[in-house]
Amino acid sequence: MNQWESRWRDGRIGFHLPQVNSYLRRYSDQLFEQVPESVFVPLCGKTLDLPWLAGKTKKVVGVELVSQAVEEFYEENKLNYTIQQAGKLQLYRNASIDIYQGDFFDLKPEQTGLFKAIYDRGSIVAIDQPERQKYAEHLLSFLSPRGKILLITLEYDQSQMSGPPYSVPAAEMEVIFTKFGRLELLETCDILDDRFRNKGLDGLLERVFQLVTK
């Protein structure tokens, strides 16, 4: 069992929010200049952002490693689904929200088509540093030309906590993403609370970036 399966099994899912992400609400108009056909949500967990996004577009497509997360998503939101094999992954299909269950790196853009908009929260920060450039390259392979990505990251002293979530400093975001287009920092928030103080952190920033590709 991998670390994500055991986290889901043991209910160690502090990243899961009981409401729609406030940055997504605030910046969705920027992400979607016009109503897009579809939006892609990598490493989606069972986020409530999926049904919220479904109200803004015709199709939401997620990918999530852990089947428990995917099944809980459809059950808790009272959405029906069918399951079919899709290459190395399982595709959970619904009229408005599809989720590919399996490893994101096994999903190919030929399966999903390209997206004008991608929403990445809790996703790049779930990827260990050596894999991050590869993650970004793979993520960008799902984006249409002149598409946009909203990315929400965390930044803290990595020596104080092992992660995930990992610290992805703004300087690293620049290095990873500027070759693809224009990376804009939209907002930075100090979100240090007792949960993270108890894990040993003395500072924790959440940052919101938008990448607009060439």
Ligand X SMILES: C[S@@+](CC[C@H](N)C(=O)[O-])C[C@H]1O[C@@H](n2cnc3c(N)ncnc32)[C@H](O)[C@@H]1O
Residue type, 76: E
Least spacing, CB of residue 184 vs ligand X, in Å = 21
Least spacing, CB of residue 75 vs ligand X, in Å = 16
Are 77 and 39 in contact by the 8 Å Cβ rule? The answer is no
Closer residue to ligand X in complex, CB, 65/183: 65
Closer residue to ligand X in complex, CB, 40/180: 40
Least spacing, CB of residue 116 vs ligand X, in Å = 19
ω into residue 164 within 30 of 0, thus cis?
yes
Query: What gap in Å lies between CA 106 and CA 103, rounded to an integer?
Result: 5
- Contact residues for ligand X, defined by CB under 6 A: 4, 15-16, 43-45, 47, 63-66, 69, 103-105, 121-123, 126, 165
Least spacing, CB of residue 42 vs ligand X, in Å = 7
**Strand 181-190 versus strand 205-213 pairing type:** antiparallel
Closer residue to ligand X in complex, CB, 163/178: 163
Are 74 and 91 in contact by the 8 Å Cβ rule? The answer is no
Residue type, 193: D
